[in-house]
Structure 1
Amino acid sequence: MLVIKWNLYNHKRTENTQKNSAKYQRALVVRQHRNPIL
């Protein structure tokens, strides 16, 4: 039962990550342009 819940949770999380990955990458690029310390 716990395993099923965990799998559902992970599935939801991966879906959200795929949805938001473009947003995150854009934010990362903007941040790097603002502080080019790396």
Structure 2
Amino acid sequence: HAIAHVVKLAPSLKKGQVILVNLSGRGDKDVQQVAKLRGEKL
């Protein structure tokens, strides 16, 4: 849904404006995965 919205929004932006899109689905799961990969305990 985010990508589709960006495609619609982008043509209306002025030169130099930036769109930032977060492709993360669920932050709660991402935090756990990153901690595991880094060997950190939460």
If the TM-score is normalised by the length of the shorter chain, which range does it land in? 0.3 to 0.5
Higher relative contact order (CA 8 A, sep 6+): 2
Question: Please, what TM-score do these two structures have when normalized by structure 1?
Answer: 0.36
Question: Please, what TM-score do these two structures have when normalized by structure 2?
Answer: 0.33
